[in-house]
Amino acid sequence: MADTLSINFDELKSYTFEPKQQLELDELLRQCHTYFEKTDDDLIYRAFALSYLSHKNGTRASGEPYYLHPLEVAHIVIKEMSLDDVSVAAALLHDTVEDTSISLDEIRQEFGDVVAHLIDGMTKISGVLKSRESKQAETFMKLLMSMAEDLRVVLIKFSDRLHNMRTLKHLPKAKQIKIATETSELYAPLAHRFGLFRLKSELEDLSFRAIDSQGYRFISRKLREKKDAREKFIEEFMQPIRDQLYKSGFNFEIKGRPKSIYSIYRKMVTQQKPFEDIYDLFAIRIILDEPHAREDCWRVYSYITDTYTPIPERFRDFLSVPKANGYQSLHTTVFSRTGVKVEIQIRTRQMDEIAEKGLAAHWKYKEGSDGNKSIDRFVHWVRDVLDNPRPDAASEFVQDFTLNLFQDEIYIFTPKGQLMTLPKGATPIDFAFEVHSEVGERALAAKVNGKMVPLRQKLQSGDQVEIITGKNSNLNPDWINDVVTHKAKSRIRQFINMKERKGIEEGREIWQKKAGKLNLEISDQDLVKVANKLKYHSMNKLYYDISLGAFDVNNLTKGVKDFLSKGRIEEEKSRLERISDEEMHDQYYDSARTAGSMRGLLVNGDLTDVKYSYSKCCNPIPGDDVIGFLSRNGDVKIHRTNCNNIGYLIKNDSERVVEIGWPKAITAQFIGAVRIIGEDRVGLVNDITNLISQSLKTNMKGINVNSEEGMFEGTLIIYVEDIAHLERVIKRILKVPGVKQAYRFE
């Protein structure tokens, strides 16, 4: 990085750039004037100059000059977020405070309070004593708090994350998976909550590409292969609708786009179906430019259902009842004349922009009444989240916060007919807390559609709910398993923590009185050892059970007496017989390097002889994208990068995740599974087994086939050398007469 102390802020507005940087600045200003009604050229000039000077000596993992990253973030803020010149300046400078010696006060003095606030909201929490997980969680909380004052903070942060994800491939694999996991579990759901559909889809796809590159490439290839056929089908399907719309004088646009790669993958996994069996691979969108287009959406809907047979249960009216993120559209699914199910979305031009850009589009339309209402709704939601009781640990807050970001929504009515949006799976308890915290705390019973129901009953969309309350608090700790909203969970968790803390103090007092009465003296460290012998992992849990009467304090007294009389003698004897942890570690490590390890594993780029094994949870095969987890005894456990467990390990113990490469020579064989679907016929199983064992010279471990009404489904378990071997087997099986589908069975 450049020595920023040498930067003269007074000379920023007159700094002379090299030709390349001058062209970059000119293009940036041109885009600002294209997308914004007004632009402060001097502000952009000075921000670009400071960004370039402070970062010009730094490089990214790709080898590119570092200043190009904030420049690309600024382009995203302009073209994909359509914010304003102040946001562009903040995007250009968003890494200066964090990565250089420039202070936030210097930014404030040179660029004003607003730019400084936006940058501060995006700056990571620092702290030597904080864990990485804690710092990330507190940084996210800081981001939310800054959002409550200015929603542009999160939009710039999304732009920053998007560019980082687009350039993720240049980082080590372990770091890629860590960032991709955080993106898919936190930033993509938050983008969904803010209606940033296009951004959410790209973040999911980029995360999927990093975590499971093979799965990503497979679906991407399949979509490309079917592109021409898909476009031809859409053209033929829409022709009668297009003719009717032209005849009726509509101004419109028709888009037919494939679903995101990740959404197709999720359908394949949840439905356990191959790519060919996922019918809704694309959606057709009709966008109207009419002045009274809301009413015209219904007219277009009638044309479609007059032409094609609709599927009633697939109809969704988001015009009358928009989603919580402001999304509006009519959705219907119909049968084509060839029996294919087709999803159609009907909306106005402004609705389409809001559907794609969500909060960013609301910001663009903020001068209108609808735009202002939407901005107010988002600000209220963020403040409501922050104003509610939060768990003691920032990581718990983030975990609670993300619980219902991505859930489907249901629509509930109050007794007076007001509409309220709740996550799917919500109960009357969630509803009560959404009305007001006091209503939730004093809830005694509920009426749903006029009938008394249990408070824990799940609500359905369209229910009218009334909460019956008492004068005093009726909070029940068991409710924590019956609620899904952040507001309800955080308040009940706070109540549980308060109750536990009070119980722990009461239990400690009971023990201390008992110990004092019997003149028992024992250190806290030794008391923990006694608790462990009594099957308690912590004194707090023991004290809490004493307060509840679940554990007799006299048993603790007996345990302490036993320990004081003979426990210390046994412990000292045992200590003398043990070797130190360091000696045991060195001894094991030496044996691990020589006993049964296969040579050639690349760990973090270095050739090693470390002992390793293959995880059973995801069954990796040579050629799969893999990553390693270093166990406490020095072994490396190999997981596939798309394994659910590796995501958990990265979040909770990322220091032990290592990047690995497959050995060049592996003599072992691996288990592979192939799912086969097709038309049942005499001799089919025999043909498949002969192909595997004789033609492909592949050993079989087992085969399981079920047939019904002329169709069969089967799973074939075989021994393979690597992923290429498995793919060859699948390709040959697909050529067997009667086989319709064959794919790797997860």
Tokens of 309: 């047979």
Q: Is 443 left (phi over 0), alpha (psi -120 to 50) or beta?
A: beta
Q: Is residue 306 flagged as an active site residue?
A: no
Q: Is residue 727 flagged as an active site residue?
A: no
Question: Per DSSP, what are the bridge partners of residue 416?
Answer: none
**Amino acid letter, residue 476:** N
Q: How far is the C-alpha of 394 from the C-alpha of 402, rounded, in Å?
A: 12
18 DSSP 8-state letter? P
Instruction: Find out whether 215 and 271 touch, Cβ atoms under 8 Å.
Output: no
For Cα atoms 508, 514, 520, give the angle at the middle one, nearest 5 degrees. 100
474: helix, strand or coil: coil
- DSSP assignment of 396-416: HHHHHHTTTSSS-EEEEE-TT
Q: How far is the C-alpha of 582 from the C-alpha of 21, rounded, in Å?
A: 56
Q: How far is the C-alpha of 180 from the C-alpha of 168, rounded, in Å?
A: 9
Instruction: Find out whether 623 and 723 touch, Cβ atoms under 8 Å.
Output: yes
Tokens of 289: 């430019």
Tell which residue, 188, 142, 137, 143, has the closest CA to residue 162: 188
- DSSP assignment of 660-682: EE--S-----EEEEEEEEEE--T
Sign of CA dihedral 346, 350, 354, 356: positive
Instruction: Find out whether 422 and 459 touch, Cβ atoms under 8 Å.
Output: yes
Q: How many other CB atoms are found less than 10 A from the CB of residue 279? A: 13
Distances (CA, A) of 212 to 257, 590, 710: 23, 35, 36
- DSSP assignment of 72-91: HHHHHHHHTT---HHHHHHH
Tell which residue, 670, 668, 669, 664, has the closest CA to residue 607: 664
Q: Look up tokens 């730094």; give the residue.
A: 58
Q: How far is CA 523 from the centre of its chain?
A: 46
Tokens of 117: 């606030």
Query: Could you tell me how many residues make up the chain?
Result: 746
Q: How far is the C-alpha of 205 from the C-alpha of 224, rounded, in Å?
A: 16
Q: Look up tokens 């028709």; give the residue.
A: 254
476: helix, strand or coil: coil
Residue of 40, 99, 317, 500 marked active site = 99
> What are the backbone dihedrals phi and psi of residue 521, each rounded to the nearest 5 degrees, phi first?
-115, 120
Instruction: Find out whether 170 and 83 touch, Cβ atoms under 8 Å.
Output: no
Residue of 3, 11, 26, 98 marked active site = 98
Contacts of 627 (CB under 8 A, 6+ apart): 173, 174, 177, 638, 639, 641, 646, 657, 658, 659, 660
613: helix, strand or coil: strand
Q: How far is the C-alpha of 701 from the C-alpha of 172, rounded, in Å?
A: 37
For Cα atoms 519, 523, 525, give the angle at the middle one, nearest 5 degrees. 150
Residues annotated as part of the active site: 98-99
